[in-house]
Homo-oligomer: A and B are copies of this chain.
Amino acid sequence: MGAKDVRVKAEELKRFMQAVFVKAGFTPEGAEQQADVLTWANLRGVDSHGVQRISWYLELVDKGQMKPRANIRIEKETPAVLLLDADYAPGPVVTILAMRKAIEKARTVGIGWAVIRNTLHQGAMGYYSLMAAKEGMAGISIVCNPPNTAPYGARAAGVHNSPIAICVPGKRHRPLMLDMATSIAARGKIDVAEDKGIAIPLGWALDKHGKPTTDPKAAAVLLPAGGGKGSGLAMMFECLTSLFVANPLLTPVFQGKPGATIHRQNSVVAAIDISTFTDLAQYQANADAIVDGIKALPTAEGFSEVLVPGEPEDRVYDERAKNGIPLPEGTLLKMRNASARFGVPLPAGL
């Protein structure tokens, strides 16, 4: 963020977004869920998945691609698994429902595994895995989209940079959270660079001709993390999500089918109940000890501290919860547009 970015309190930002989403046709509960997922991302510093998405979400509603009041249906269900058709619901609305049901199942049989067809953008996937951790469970969340990332050895998009988020509870420490894209950098980070008017590092992306680029505007194809490991995980995540709901998102693009690149997602969210297997308090103490042990290791050259996954975001969370969420000019503009359109006042001071 720039030095002169204005800041807004998290609860005010959330209230603003919630009011906008209600005006856009969301149910009050759905608007609250959507706003909460976005605010959580901003609090953690994951601005790519925060309020800057608001104009895109409104556009998706305008185009009829996102249904604020979708007909979410349970298609298949056993004591352990669930298949939900999202009917193009806002991601948080269907995914919170799916994770709640997964948690219920895990409480009964030890695991709940919920696959979702045709949800819209779900925001930061860590949110859902954290829901499980708060209930004394491990949470796993995976999502797929149409391709945006070059498989290892290719120079065109063939997989999505599907993220995976895994979260487990600590005790003294906050839940251990890994929330990672399978590309070197998430698409949202490139969007943020574009909003800020800065270059991206070489190695993040290719342009539409398959040439490496540092221009966020020219970035057309992402590059996988760890070469074939990142794109291999991404390919298998399509198999674990889209193929399980009979709704492939990669192959229609290869085959040039009309509408194949229209945004929509398939996903799996899972909860595994710790108490079914072992003592929860002991588990949490063991998780704390991992954090303590890793942080006490000698640092590599160029590092002053060893940070565990999620720790940088936790620190930003604390700072922003206290001082407010900074809003770059590009993001403010999107909020002003939404405010003007729906007659929803901006948070005080903006």
A296 to B, closest residue via Cβ: B254
Chain B residues within 8 Å of A232, by CB: 178, 180, 309
Shortest beta-carbon distance from A119 to chain B in Å: 16
Segment of A25-33, A190-198, A297-305 in the binding face: A297-305
A226 close to B (CB within 8 Å) = yes
A72 close to B (CB within 8 Å) = no
A240 close to B (CB within 8 Å) = yes
Return the contact of A110 from the options B78, B152, B159, B305 (Cβ within 8 A).
Answer: B78
Q: A78-B110, A153-B300, A156-B298 are in contact. Are A236 and B278 (CB under 8 A)?
A: no
Please determine whether A290 and B239 come into contact, CB atoms closer than 8 angstroms: yes
A350 close to B (CB within 8 Å) = no
Q: A155-B301, A236-B168 are in contact. Are A110 and B276 (CB under 8 A)?
A: no
Q: A138-B239, A246-B283 are in contact. Are A233 and B178 (CB under 8 A)?
A: yes
Chain B residues within 8 Å of A80, by CB: 79-80, 109-111
Please determine whether B287 and A239 come into contact, CB atoms closer than 8 angstroms: yes
Question: Residues of A with Cβ closer than 8 Å to B?
Answer: 76, 78-81, 83, 108-111, 113, 115, 138, 150-156, 158-159, 166, 168, 176, 178, 180, 182, 184, 210, 225-226, 228-230, 232-233, 235-236, 238-240, 242-246, 248, 250-251, 253-255, 272, 274, 276-279, 282-283, 286-287, 289-290, 292-294, 296-301, 303, 305-309
A238 to B, closest residue via Cβ: B290
Copies of this protein in the complex: 2
The CA-CA distance from A210 to B250 in the complex, in Å, is: 42
Chain B residues within 8 Å of A226, by CB: 184, 225-226, 229-230
The CA-CA distance from A280 to B150 in the complex, in Å, is: 28
Chain B residues within 8 Å of A248, by CB: 286, 289-290
Q: A296-B254, A308-B235 are in contact. Are A277 and B245 (CB under 8 A)?
A: yes
Q: Top 8 closest A-B pairs, CB basis?
A: A254-B293, A81-B110, A225-B226, A226-B226, A80-B80, A154-B297, A232-B309, A251-B289
Shortest beta-carbon distance from A295 to chain B in Å: 9
Q: A153-B299, A232-B178 are in contact. Are A290 and B250 (CB under 8 A)?
A: yes
Shortest beta-carbon distance from A172 to chain B in Å: 14
Please determine whether A276 and B81 come into contact, CB atoms closer than 8 angstroms: yes
Please determine whether A151 and B243 come into contact, CB atoms closer than 8 angstroms: no
Chain B residues within 8 Å of A292, by CB: 254
The CA-CA distance from A247 to B150 in the complex, in Å, is: 39
Shortest beta-carbon distance from A315 to chain B in Å: 14
Chain B residues within 8 Å of A277, by CB: 76, 81, 83, 115, 244-245
